Every structure is written in C-alpha cells, then in structure tokens.
Structure 1
Amino acid sequence: MRSRDWPPSETSPLLSSPRDLRADDVPATPSPTSPDPAVIHVSRADLVWILVGLWSPVFLGALDGTIVATLMTPIGNYFNKSNQASYIGTSYLLSVCCFTPLYGRLSDILGRRGAMLLGLTLFGAGTICCGIAPSMETLIAARAVAGMGGGGIMTVSSVTLTDLVPLKQRGLYQGLANIMFGLGSGIGGPLGGWMNDTFGWRSAFLFQIPVLAFSFVLVLLKVSVPISQEVKNQSLYSKMRRMDFAGSATLAITIGCLLLGFSIQSSESLPWSHPLIYGLFITSAVFAVLFAAVEAWWAPYPVMPFHLITQRTPLAVCMSNFFGSMAAFITIYNVPLYFSAVRLNSSTDTGLHLLPHSIALSTGSVFAGWIMRRTGKLYTLTLVSAALAVCSSIQIAMWSENSSQWHLWVDIVPQGFGMASVITSTLIALIACVSKTDVAVATGITYLFRTTGQVLGVSLSGTLLQSILLSKLRQRIHGPNAEEVISFPSRVHSTDEVKLLDPVLRKLAIESYADALRVVFICQLVLNVLALLSCTAIQENPLP
C-alpha cells in the first residue's frame, strides 16, 4: 500500500497502514525523526486523557470479571438459585463471544469514538440493570446486555491505541494496558468480597457507574480518529456489508444451544433422551454447519476466514487459546467456589485467594514480552509456560482437607502466569507467520477462539459440577426426607445454608462439593494438557 492510498480502502485490513510500504516507495534510510504517517498525532496532554478514557473501562471490565466470579455464590444464595449461578458468567461471555467480532468492522463505520461510546453505553446499561435486578433471570439477561458492550470496549480500545501510538512504542503501551487489566483483575476479587460483606452484592455493580460515566465523557471529548474518506463516502448498504451478521448469528445459536442443552439437563435433572435436550443439540449441530457455510461462501468479510485457520501455526494457536481459555476460566469461576463451599470462607477471604492469580496474569504477559524482545524466540517460552499451567492444575486437583494454607495460596499462581505468557507468545507467533494483510483478521480469530473457550469453560464446568454434586449428595444423604433436603434450593445448593446445617449433614455436603470440584479441576488439567500439545505444533518464525 502506498502512502497516498491512506486512509485505507474498504478492502484493506483494519489495522493495515503505511507501515506496510514497499521498499521502492520510501528512501532506503528514512530519518529516525520522521513521524509515523499512520499515527494520528495528538498532544501529550490529550494522549494522557485519551488513554485514561480508553483504559479506565478496560480496567473496569477486568475488575467486573473477577468481582462477578467472587459474587456468583452470594448472588445464587440471595435468590436461592445457586444451581443457576454459572449462567451469570455464561450469559456475559456468550454475548462477548458473539459481538466482539463485529466491533472491528463497526469501528470503521461509526468511527473509533462512536464504536467505543456504543460499547460503553451497552456495558453501563447492563451493569445498572444488574445492580437493580429483582430476579436471577433478570440478572442473567442484564449480564448478556453488558457483554454486548464489554467485548467492544476491549477491541476498540486496542484498535484506537494502534491509531495513536507509533509501532515502535506499541509494545510499551500494550504492557501498560496489561498492567491496568491485571490490576483490575487483582483487586476485583477482594473488592467484590468486601463490598458484598459490607454493603451487599448489588453495590459491586452500582459503584462502577460513575467510572463508566467519567470514561464516556473523556471518550466523547478527546477521542477523535477520523473515518477514512472512502468509507465515509460509501452507501449505507456498502458499509453494512462489512458486518458479518449472518456469521455472528449462526455462531451465537450454535454455542447458545449447545450450552443450554448441557445446562438445562443438569439444572433441571432431565434425562439425555428428553426431547428438549436432544432438540437443542440437534439445533446446535445444524447451525454449526450453517456457520461453516456462511463463513466459506456467503460472508464477504467473515469473522472466521477458513483460509487462515487451515494453516498449521494459526490452527495450533487457535486451539491452544481455546483449550487454555477454557482451563483459565474454570479456575477463575470454580476456585472461589472451593473456598466458599468446601472451606466455608467469607466472601472477602474467597476474593483474596484470587489476588495472587490476578497478579500472575499481568506479570506473565509482561515477562513473555520481555523474553521475546531479548531472545527473539518464542517456541521454548510457549512450551515452558504451558507446562507451568499443567503443573498448577495438578496441584489444584490434589487439594484436600489436609492441604496447607501455603498450597492454597501458591498453587494457583503458575496457572495465571503460564497461561498469560502463552496467550502473549502465541499471538506473536500468529502475527509472525501470516502476511501483513491478514494480521488484523488473524488476531480477531484468536479473540474469537478465546471467548468461545471462556464461555464453554464456565458453562460446561458449571454443568459438570451440578451433575456430580447432585449424584454425590444422593449417595451420601439417606432417609425419608433425603430427596427434599437434596433438592431444596435453600439447603445444600446454597453455600451459605451449608454452614447452618447440622454437623452431620454439613460434613456430607462439604464432602460432596469437594468431590465435585475435584472432578472439575481434573478436567481443567486435561484441558491444559491439550493446550500444551497444541503449542507443540507452533512453528518458530523470525521475530522482527
């Protein structure tokens, strides 16, 4: 692409720029002080305010994720529907999975500011509704609305940063963004637990609104990245063709029906042969085929181009991100349950146990970037990082009533550190193996596999947990009123009520939770092993 062709045409990738100049288009030795023509130049003060506006919702999104992971148990207890608590995380992640791929194209149509404001509005509206939700069903729906904006916040902030920061400084700013994300993840657990114990769980949602309003004003006033003239002059129909609505819709139905089939079978104790259950699975399979057909032959700008994921390294990166994200979110959503249901800790103590994991997430990403910059290599780093996650999963699966406090605090750290490093190194491996024109699309595919893995990890682990828990309770609790005790939501299905049971029943309930969670953690171990095996297929390419 020549510099006179900037802004990009409709067929140009979102993140392509005059950095892709051919060798004969520029002097052989450009001046080191020459400004990067791809960058929108703003003053230092304006850049600071823009970064505050972009990163504060990123920080809040990370904070919100760990807050909700900590509060799932108290919220389930409040509504006496602990068996539906996993839907709180699933609904949000499913929305993120379906709407994130659309925001890249949407930011070309509405502009960076318009797309960011849309994401902030949806995330804020959903968060407000979460804080005032009168029922579990309303709360789950509100989390889905928040997810429609949450995915866009992460995507558009990253794209806008690329518009404003020179390429040679991009790594530094990405490191700062990762620190903000890690900080939000780190304090979200203990903050959510403290707010629940002090003010109630609703306050953990409502306190986010002033921060979102502040960010909205900053983005509205400061973010000004012009839309390319060619896109601006296009008809509405041409602009809308850039959005893969059909692909996103068929993907949403595929994943949604699959998750509902597993979740309803577990929560409602329906047999696998029930028409509703196999009907949902058949619908999921049909729409999976339709999704593949849409991406291969219909969508002019598919969210998952098959010509990329059929290559060796992109496929290996996608698979490692998929399995690794499933394992990571099983950790985030089930470790707090272990401390609340098995150790009977308070919400504050439960949240604090996520703090080392969150710190490891931010430091793992920075460490991977530093190693790759120093060595120019990533293959060994990727395998060692994935192996760290496997070792952590082994330790977590071995937790028992005899485990020392030292293990309960430290064993989770290698999972966060290793998986953050894997996510970072595999993204660089992907960028290094595809052409410059495919970088933006390939990066979007990795986010799609990550979010799909996240939503499946949360939902399927919740389904497995409930199924095994119910089975173990029926094995252990006998007598004329046994089924009433087992199935009544405000008894053993509420971890707060477990503390109030008589000592014999409490011991049986705790043992059942421990057995169910151990199976979940073993599944997490299997997923981390699959992620490690996927990483072995990644090719080592020179890093510029």
Structure 2
Amino acid sequence: MNDRPIDPPAPDRPGLPRLGVFGLMLSIFLATLDGQIVSTALPTIVGDLGGLDHFSWSVTAYLLTMAASTPLWGKLGDLYGRKGACMNSVVLFLAGTVLCGLAQSMGQLIVFRGLQGLGAGGLTVGALSVIGVMVPAQERGRIQSMVGVMMPVAFVGGPLLGGFITDHMSWRWAFYVNVPVGLVALLAVAKGVRLPAGRVTGRIDYLGTALLTTGILTLTLLSGWAGTTYAWASWQTAGLAVVVVLSLAWFVRVELRTAEPITPPRLFADRDFTLAQVLSFLVGAVLYPVLNYLPQYMQFVQGSSATASGLLILPLMLGMFAAQLATGRLMDGGGPGRVVPLTGGAVTLAGALLLLLLGTDTPLVAASALTLVIGVGIGVLLQSTLLTTMHHAAPRDMGAATGTVTLVRTIGGSLGVAVLGAVQGSRMSGVLAERLGSGTEERLTAGGGLTPALLKDMPLATRDVVADAVSSALHGVLVGAAVLSAIAFGTAWFVRAAPATAAAAAVTPASGAGTGALTGAAKGSAPPPSGD
C-alpha cells in the first residue's frame, strides 16, 4: 500500500469561454484585416475614383472618426455594458464597409470611410475592455496565444488578399470581404460572452466628446493644411490653431469636473500609464504612414502588382506580429519595464533609417527584406504600451483605459498620415512639376491619370520620373518616421516600473472584479460591485 500523502486538489480555476474569446479576437482581427486589405488596394482605389492628391484623406477620414469615437465606445461599455458596445460597433463598422464598397466618387468614399471609422473605434476597445474584466491579468498570456492563432492570417493574408482582389476582381470587394468575418464575430460574441448584467450609474460626457472630436478634427486639418494648402501666416491657419487650443483646453476643464469623464484624469496620475500613452501616440504616428505609403512605393517604383506589393511587405507584418507575441510573453512573465520600450524605440529608429536605402534601383528582394526591422520595433512598442495601460487601470476604468491607448495611437496615426502625407505629396508634386511641367503634374496627381495600371502604358521617360518622384516622397515620410522613433526612444528612458510589478499592485485590491466577472458568468453569481 502506498503511504505517500495524497496531493491536495488543485484550486478551482474557471476556464476561459473559448467561443466568446474567439469572437472578441475576431473583432480585433476584423479591424486589422480591414487595414491590411485596403492598404494594398488604395493606390488603385484613389486613382479610379479620381485624384492622387486625395490619397491621404481616404485614410485620414477613417482614422479621425476612429480616434474620436474610441473613448466614447469605451465609456459606453463601462456604463451600459461592454458586450453590447462591442457588438454595436461591429454592426456600424459593417454598415460603413458596405457603403465604402458602393462609393461612386472620392467624396463619397471619404464620407463612408468616416462612417466605417466610427464603428472601427469600438472594435478593438470593445473587445479589449471585455477581456480586461473577464480575464485576470495572470491569464492574459493565454489570450496572447489565442491571438497568435488568428493574427498571422490578418498580417500575412490581408495584404495578399487585398492585392489579389484588386488585381483579379474589383477593389470594391476589398471592403465586402469584411462582411462575413464581422457576422461570425457577432454570432460568437452573442453566444459565447456572458457578463454580469450590471450597470454603473452615470451619464455619457457628450460635451467632452464633442470638444475632443472638434480638437482632433481641427488639429488634423491644421497639420495637413498649414504650409501647404494655406501659408503658415494665413488667417486660415491662425483660426484653426485657435480652435485647437480652445477646444482642447475646454475639454480638459470639462474632464476635470464631470462625474463620468470620457478619459478619467485619475488614470494619468500614474506616471507609467501616462508614458505609455505618449509612446502609443508616437508608434501610431510611425505605423500608419509607413503601412500606407510602402505599398505605393512597391507598385509605382518596383512595378509590382497589388498582390505582389502585399507580399513584399510581409516581412514588416511578420516582424510586427512575432514581436507582439514575444513582448506579451515577456511582460506577462515579469520582464523589465524600461528595457522593452527602449528596445522598441531603438529598433524602430534603426528600421526607419534602413528604409531610407530604398530607391529606384533597389533590388526587389532587398526592398522587401528591409521592412522587417521596422516591423519588429513597431510590434514591441504596440504590445508594451497596450499591456502597460491594461496593467495600470482598475477594472471599472478598463474601457476608458483601453479606449485611451487606442485613441492616442489613432490620433498619432491620423496626424502622422496628415503631416507626413503633406510632406509626401509636396515632394512628389515638386519632382513631377520640375521634370514634367506643372500641367502634366496636375493631370497626373489630381486628374486621376496616375494609377499603377495606367503607368504601364506611359512612355519610359515618364515612368522613370514617376518612380523618382514616389521614391523621393517616401523618403520624406521615412525621415519623419525616424524623428518620431528617436523621440519614442528618448521617452522610454523615463519609464520606471516593470509592467508585471505594476500589474500585481493594480490587480490585488480588485482581484475579485477581474475574476468575478468570469466566475459569475460561469456560475450565475451576483455581479461584482464595479458592474458591467
């Protein structure tokens, strides 16, 4: 007979609701998939609807409304139910997606992209806020594994799918393909997510939302128009600057006084939370311009098809994906807080500088491989800022916190596309006007005469000039990305607490809220005090 004492039973640990988590991950995947598919199709879309000079606004309209709506979706979830907010954002996103596919003019596309962005603002923040209260901090590494099953499909398949659709079908299907994915996400969340039916007493800060939206919109317009459309000393530029200052100052005043602020000022009392938002802003300002202008270089300079241009930026996508997974595991395991963002900033800076080697005579394989480094750096920064934000927020503020980190990243992306897009457009127009004449330059950039397909039928001399112009324009974007990466590297030096340590401190007093939502959903217990 074996006298060895019997081991005590393992403590009961509720399993993760796999169908619900799958639906939430699919919601995040939907936002990622849309960006990857559309990025490779944009050169053809903008040329077909008339006007390369509107290239940046087809992206900026989406990012603006996404940024403005992100904190609102987060607060709606905190007050009235995170599951409902997540599902409603998917519905609105799909409505905008279908309308984008039906657009008949550039103006319509910009408006519909704005509507699509309103829904997109809730896709990621809605899913993350549900995960933040449903899954304990120590379990988020498991969530990263689930993300690891789905994200390669978006990062790898998105650009390829977008290019294939553009080459062999119609760019309109680059939008329509989101619909079945969104419907599956809706069904999975509806059936698989069970949260306590509680609400927090409070009202949406509509005034703060309106002021923040006004400030973001005006700041983006100012960034894109000052020095290009309007002179720096013009009354238009001065007026926009005044509106920016007044609206944002008033927004801060409202947030300090309202009972339920869109972005609770108490979150920024934590130094590392604040630094994470600064880094999130900077990485957004690097990521979005690079993702949107690299395919243009691949198609116009390297002569690649839309499908091939998606394939050629795969090293960037895979590097970003692998870095996000590795960073998530490192930080969940107690990795050093300062080293992670410092590494991300340094690698992103190195990647931006390496991309300056791209030119009209760069071998195709080398051009593709050079994108890997900046992808790794961006992935490290993206994941570290997100996890730091979640670790430093109480369960009740999880929606507002994840909304804030998404908001500032999107604002950074919107401003980055506007500012660096203005630089890109100015440099490209300058080269074309200098070598082909202002009349030809205007016809090519504003008249819809410059698309990857039409370029092939132009004289060789004209194609060479266009290649030089696009290459020079991309260099302007990359110099800006390098400057922003250097600022991110400098900012990371001020990070002090390791994220895992901060997480433990933040979760301990409210540990019941994180696990209670999950336990209550599984066992039918009463909702935690924070409600959902």
Q: What is the TM-score of this pair, normalised by structure 2?
A: 0.85
Q: How much has 1:31 moved relative to structure 2? A: 8.3
Q: How much has 1:128 moved relative to structure 2? A: 0.6
Matched, 1:281 2:241: yes
Equivalent pair of 1:69/1:89 in contact (CA under 8 Å): no
Q: How much has 1:328 moved relative to structure 2? A: 1.4
Output the amino acid matched with 1:133: A
Equivalent pair of 1:250/1:288 in contact (CA under 8 Å): yes
Matched, 1:489 2:442: no
Separation in 1 of the partners of 2:462 and 2:288?
Answer: 30
Q: How much has 1:415 moved relative to structure 2? A: 1.4
SS at match of 1:85: helix
Q: How much has 1:312 moved relative to structure 2? A: 3.6
Q: How much has 1:306 moved relative to structure 2? A: 3.8
Equivalent pair of 1:341/1:495 in contact (CA under 8 Å): yes
**In structure 1, what is the equivalent of residue 476 of structure 2?**
519
Matched, 1:120 2:90: yes
Deviates more, 1:131-140 or 1:192-201: 131-140
Separation in 1 of the partners of 2:164 and 2:363?
Answer: 24
**In structure 2, what is the equivalent of residue 357 of structure 1?**
316
Separation in 2 of the partners of 1:433 and 1:53?
Answer: 25
**In structure 2, what is the equivalent of residue 13 of structure 1?**
none
Output the amino acid matched with 1:446: V
**In structure 1, what is the equivalent of residue 11 of structure 2?**
33
**Which of 49, 55, 73 is the aligned partner of 2:43?**
73
Separation in 1 of the partners of 2:329 and 2:184?
Answer: 33
Matched, 1:446 2:416: no
Separation in 1 of the partners of 2:135 and 2:327?
Answer: 21
Q: How much has 1:109 moved relative to structure 2? A: 4.1
Separation in 1 of the partners of 2:207 and 2:126?
Answer: 21
Output the amino acid matched with 2:307: T
Q: How much has 1:182 moved relative to structure 2? A: 4.3
Q: How much has 1:366 moved relative to structure 2? A: 1.3
**In structure 2, what is the equivalent of residue 507 of structure 1?**
464
Relative to structure 1, is the Cα distance of residues 207 and 33 closer, same or farther in structure 2, using a 3 angstrom cutoff?
Answer: same
The within-5 A match list for 1:88-127 is: 88-127=58-97
**In structure 2, what is the equivalent of residue 257 of structure 1?**
218
Separation in 2 of the partners of 1:261 and 1:101?
Answer: 22
Q: Deviations over 1:498-541 (max 9, x none)?
A: 33332222222221221121111111111111111111110033
Separation in 1 of the partners of 2:417 and 2:368?
Answer: 22
Separation in 1 of the partners of 2:408 and 2:212?
Answer: 12
Equivalent pair of 2:32/2:154 in contact (CA under 8 Å): yes
**In structure 2, what is the equivalent of residue 19 of structure 1?**
none
Deviates more, 1:439-448 or 1:355-364: 439-448
Separation in 2 of the partners of 1:194 and 1:54?
Answer: 27
Q: How much has 1:436 moved relative to structure 2? A: 7.5
**In structure 2, what is the equivalent of residue 420 of structure 1?**
379
**In structure 2, what is the equivalent of residue 226 of structure 1?**
196
Separation in 2 of the partners of 1:179 and 1:352?
Answer: 20
Q: How much has 1:284 moved relative to structure 2? A: 2.2
Equivalent pair of 2:21/2:192 in contact (CA under 8 Å): no
**In structure 2, what is the equivalent of residue 3 of structure 1?**
none
Separation in 1 of the partners of 2:378 and 2:123?
Answer: 22
Equivalent pair of 1:108/1:227 in contact (CA under 8 Å): no
SS at match of 2:81: helix
SS at match of 1:402: coil
Separation in 1 of the partners of 2:380 and 2:187?
Answer: 34
SS at match of 2:166: helix
The alignment-based identity, stated in percent, is: 26
Q: How much has 1:104 moved relative to structure 2? A: 2.5
Q: How much has 1:308 moved relative to structure 2? A: 4.0
Q: How much has 1:184 moved relative to structure 2? A: 1.1
Q: Deviations over 1:28-84 (max 9, x none)?
A: xx9851456xxxx8xx7xx33323332223222211011111111110110121211
Equivalent pair of 1:427/1:443 in contact (CA under 8 Å): yes
**Which of 479, 488, 504 is the aligned partner of 1:531?**
488
**In structure 1, what is the equivalent of residue 251 of structure 2?**
291
Output the amino acid matched with 2:61: S
Equivalent pair of 1:163/1:225 in contact (CA under 8 Å): no
Deviates more, 1:437-446 or 1:185-194: 437-446
Separation in 2 of the partners of 1:486 and 1:365?
Answer: 40
Separation in 1 of the partners of 2:57 and 2:387?
Answer: 33
Equivalent pair of 2:290/2:477 in contact (CA under 8 Å): no
Matched, 1:64 2:34: yes
Output the amino acid matched with 1:286: L
Deviates more, 1:460-469 or 1:163-172: 163-172
Separation in 2 of the partners of 1:483 and 1:368?
Answer: 45
**Which of 338, 353, 356 is the aligned partner of 1:397?**
356
Matched, 1:456 2:426: no
Output the amino acid matched with 1:244: D
The within-5 A match list for 1:69-468 is: 69-177=39-147, 179-228=149-198, 231=200, 238-239=201-202, 241=203, 243-264=204-225, 269-297=229-257, 299-309=258-268, 312-374=271-333, 376-430=335-389, 441-468=400-427
Separation in 2 of the partners of 1:290 and 1:162?
Answer: 30
Equivalent pair of 1:368/1:381 in contact (CA under 8 Å): yes
Relative to structure 1, is the Cα distance of residues 270 and 444 closer, same or farther in structure 2, using a 3 angstrom cutoff?
Answer: closer
Equivalent pair of 2:28/2:124 in contact (CA under 8 Å): yes
**In structure 1, what is the equivalent of residue 431 of structure 2?**
472
Q: How much has 1:197 moved relative to structure 2? A: 0.5
Relative to structure 1, is the Cα distance of residues 114 and 384 closer, same or farther in structure 2, using a 3 angstrom cutoff?
Answer: closer
Equivalent pair of 1:195/1:201 in contact (CA under 8 Å): yes
Q: Deviations over 1:409-458 (max 9, x none)?
A: 22211212222212323444456667787666544432222121111122
Equivalent pair of 2:355/2:371 in contact (CA under 8 Å): yes
Q: How much has 1:483 moved relative to structure 2? A: 6.1
Equivalent pair of 2:312/2:368 in contact (CA under 8 Å): yes
Q: How much has 1:97 moved relative to structure 2? A: 0.9
Relative to structure 1, is the Cα distance of residues 224 and 525 closer, same or farther in structure 2, using a 3 angstrom cutoff?
Answer: same
Consecutive unaligned residues in structure 1, runs of 5 or more: 1-29, 232-237
Relative contact order higher in (CA < 8 Å, ≥ 6 apart): 2
Consecutive unaligned residues in structure 2, runs of 5 or more: 1-7, 505-532
Q: What is the TM-score of this pair, normalised by structure 1?
A: 0.83
Separation in 2 of the partners of 1:142 and 1:105?
Answer: 24
Deviates more, 1:188-197 or 1:201-210: 201-210
Separation in 2 of the partners of 1:425 and 1:263?
Answer: 29
Equivalent pair of 2:75/2:399 in contact (CA under 8 Å): no
Relative to structure 1, is the Cα distance of residues 294 and 84 closer, same or farther in structure 2, using a 3 angstrom cutoff?
Answer: same
Separation in 2 of the partners of 1:313 and 1:166?
Answer: 20
